[in-house]
Amino acid sequence: MDQHNHHFLHEETVTDVATKFKALSDPTRVKILYLLTQEECSVGHIAELLQMTQSAVSHQLSFLKQLRLVKSRRVGQSFIYNIDDEHVIEILKQMIHHSLHD
């Protein structure tokens, strides 16, 4: 009988990876993340560019912020959002590149 030494991932790692892929599985979040790869944006600017309500954008940004995919900084009365996890963004860009060259 073959004896293999298997390496298994910790449950937290598996859950974290699955959650990040889940974040990338939503079309709106893909649009927001891709936009943020090009420029830092306020909620209002994202809403305007993606033709969404500010409340819908805020909801998605809150989700992305919890996963530490985006971060924000306060400028005056508003928050400016940008990318917080370059590794996940690289995966996103690779998937976009793959889709464009299929």
Instruction: Detail the DSSP E strand segments found in 37-86.
Output: 41-42, 70-75, 78-83
pLDDT-based confidence at 55, cuts 50/70/90? very high
Averaged confidence pLDDT in the chain: 93
At 10, list the tokens.
Answer: 């910790």
What lies within 8 Å, CB to CB, of 50 at 6+ separation is 28, 31, 32, 35, 57
Which tokens belong to 4? 């293999």
* pLDDT single digits (tens) 68-79: 999 999 999 999
Residue-level length of the chain: 102
Mean per-residue pLDDT for 53-81? 96
What pTM value is reported for the model? 0.87
Mean pLDDT of 84-100: 93
Q: What is the largest CA-CA distance in the chain?
A: 68
